[in-house]
């Protein structure tokens, strides 16, 4: 399990798609006080930018997502991760909107992250990569949007960590966002969520093949640790009800109990599969850096402890969505966000969608989600004067 990651190699030369490079002589400023450069941003676009450059939609991906939002994934061969929402005739209609999605800074799908080569040393960054934040990710995306000649985004949308980026965009660039759709997210990472992330990081760092982060240089892969991290995280993406309905106490490929430590129950087999497929497409150090960026997210802290102040200057219309069975980013977090938006006199609508699918509902076929987002997008497009 440890040394087999056929699809994932340092520097990712074979990953298809577009690239922007932020040069070393004008590097990306970071929240930790340093800079990073050069920075390659790997991104995909779908649809066409209209003449007014007014129909651009930025999709922000979650912790283990990437830029392949609406096309077959080059490593897994699976459909894009948000094809339910993005595509011809979908809510984010690629015949109407210009969709942009970029791999985040710190990621492992072509954007500069800990597995890429540090030009200063000729070796993969590993742990010499700087700890980055949601703010840094969004600052890099702003470079991309500028380079595409887009002055103002029609919409910024994302779920989970993607939703954190949506909020960061609205706060950092209040004039640049016409509509914002933060889904299943929070304005700060909770103690429980930090705790779960810490378990995942400790699982990775406990793997001797992690080699203090230098596994790429030393020719190992901390696959066992990364797999355990993914398994623990995956439970938090579902709900107890969903797990019960899907698996219950059903046995895997057997009629009777075997009294052993094999994957006897279907839910065990499913989890092990989640772990073993994940390590084929994801870099362990990226997992450390991106979970850390989420832990650091606390939008109010950057605005004197008052979340409402983060949105004082924003001209965006907000559509906040949560799911009843999401216990990772529960509705209470969205409600706190909505209170702050109200206090900032922002234009906001808020919907809590009833579902038993848990946090992952934002990625699944959830008709009410599409209805809510579709109505909001339609109204905003009209106000923006976008053609049908």
The footprint of its own copies (CB under 8 A) covers: 31-32, 127, 130-131, 188-192, 194-196, 198-199, 201-203, 205-208, 224-225, 227-228, 231-232, 235, 238, 240, 243-244, 246-249, 257, 259-261, 263-265, 267-268, 271-272, 275, 288, 292, 295-296, 298, 327, 330
Identity of the residue, 91 or 231, whose beta carbon is nearer to its own copies in the bound complex: 231
Please, what is the minimum distance in Å from the beta carbon of residue 288 to its own copies?
A: 6
Please, what is the minimum distance in Å from the beta carbon of residue 26 to its own copies?
A: 22
Please, what is the minimum distance in Å from the beta carbon of residue 238 to its own copies?
A: 8
Tell which residue, 188, 164, 181, 193, has the closest CA to residue 307.
188
Q: Are strands 35-36 and 18-22 parallel, antiparallel or unpaired?
A: unpaired
Identity of the residue, 87 or 130, whose beta carbon is nearer to its own copies in the bound complex: 130
359 is annotated as an active-site residue: yes
Beta-sheet strands, E only, within the chain: 18-22, 28-29, 35-36, 39-46, 56-60, 86-87, 92-93, 98-102, 117-118, 123-124, 153-159, 177-183, 317-323, 347-353
Tell which residue, 27, 38, 103, 100, has the closest CA to residue 65.
103
Catalytic residue among 160, 227, 239, 322: 160
Catalytic residue among 66, 93, 295, 326: 326
325 is annotated as an active-site residue: no
DSSP class of residue 9 equals -
Identity of the residue, 124 or 330, whose beta carbon is nearer to its own copies in the bound complex: 330
Interatomic CA distance for residues 18 and 12, integer angstroms: 13
Cβ-count burial 323-339 (b if 16+ within 10 Å, e if not): bbbbbbbbbebbeebbe
Identity of the residue, 204 or 380, whose beta carbon is nearer to its own copies in the bound complex: 204
Q: How far is CA 378 from the centre of its chain?
A: 24
Catalytic residue among 61, 189, 197, 359: 359
Tell which residue, 345, 305, 353, 348, has the closest CA to residue 329.
353
Please, what is the minimum distance in Å from the beta carbon of residue 309 to its own copies?
A: 18
Sign of the dihedral through C-alpha 364, 365, 366, 372: positive
Identity of the residue, 83 or 298, whose beta carbon is nearer to its own copies in the bound complex: 298
| Paired tokens of 185 | 């997210």
Please, what is the minimum distance in Å from the beta carbon of residue 97 to its own copies?
A: 36
Q: Cβ-count burial of 93 within 10 angstroms (0-12 exposed, 13-18 middle, 19+ buried)?
A: buried
Please, what is the minimum distance in Å from the beta carbon of residue 315 to its own copies?
A: 29
Interatomic CA distance for residues 275 and 223, integer angstroms: 9
Identity of the residue, 98 or 210, whose beta carbon is nearer to its own copies in the bound complex: 210
Cα angle for residues 345, 347, 351 (degrees, 5° grid): 115
Please, what is the minimum distance in Å from the beta carbon of residue 17 to its own copies?
A: 29
Q: What are phi and psi of 124, to 5 degrees?
A: -60, 145
Identity of the residue, 219 or 248, whose beta carbon is nearer to its own copies in the bound complex: 248
Interatomic CA distance for residues 359 and 366, integer angstroms: 12
326 is annotated as an active-site residue: yes
User: Would you name the residues annotated as active-site residues?
Assistant: 160, 326, 359
């Amino acid at each position: 399990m440890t040394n087999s990651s056929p699809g994932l190699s340092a520097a990712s030369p074979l990953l298809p798609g577009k690239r922007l490079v932020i040069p070393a002589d004008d590097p990306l400023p970071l929240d930790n006080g340093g800079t990073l450069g050069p920075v390659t941003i790997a991104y995909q676009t779908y649809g066409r930018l209209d003449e007014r450059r007014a129909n651009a939609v930025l999709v922000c991906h979650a912790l283990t997502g990437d830029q392949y939002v609406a096309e077959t994934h080059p490593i897994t061969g699976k459909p894009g991760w948000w094809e339910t929402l993005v595509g011809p005739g979908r809510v984010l209609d690629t015949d109407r909107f210009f969709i942009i999605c970029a791999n985040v800074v710190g990621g492992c799908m072509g954007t500069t992250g800990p597995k890429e080569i540090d030009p200063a040393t000729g070796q993969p960054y590993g742990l010499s990569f700087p700890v980055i934040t949601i703010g840094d990710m969004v600052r890099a995306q702003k470079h991309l949007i500028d380079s595409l000649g887009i002055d103002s985004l029609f919409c910024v949308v994302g779920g989970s960590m993607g939703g954190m980026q949506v909020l960061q965009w609205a706060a950092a660039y209040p004039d640049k966002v016409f509509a914002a759709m933060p889904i299943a997210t929070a304005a700060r990472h909770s103690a429980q969520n930090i705790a779960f992330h810490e378990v995942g990081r400790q699982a990775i760092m406990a793997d001797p093949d992690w080699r203090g982060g230098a596994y790429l240089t030393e020719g190992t892969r901390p696959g066992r640790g990364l797999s355990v991290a993914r398994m623990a995280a995956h439970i938090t993406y579902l709900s107890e009800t969903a797990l019960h309905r899907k698996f219950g106490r059903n046995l895997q490929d057997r009629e009777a109990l075997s009294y052993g430590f094999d994957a006897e129950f279907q839910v065990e087999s499913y989890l092990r599969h989640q772990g073993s497929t994940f390590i084929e497409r994801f870099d362990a150090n990226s997992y450390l850096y991106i979970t850390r960026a989420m832990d650091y997210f606390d939008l109010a802290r950057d605005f004197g402890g008052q979340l409402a102040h983060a949105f004082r200057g924003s001209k965006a219309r907000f559509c906040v969505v949560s799911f009843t069975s999401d216990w990772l980013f529960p509705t209470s977090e969205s409600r706190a966000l909505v209170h702050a938006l109200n206090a900032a006199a922002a234009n906001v609508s808020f919907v809590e969608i009833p579902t038993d699918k848990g946090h992952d509902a934002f990625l699944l076929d959830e008709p009410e989600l599409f209805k809510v987002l579709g109505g909001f997008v339609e109204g905003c497009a009209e106000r923006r004067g976008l053609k049908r």
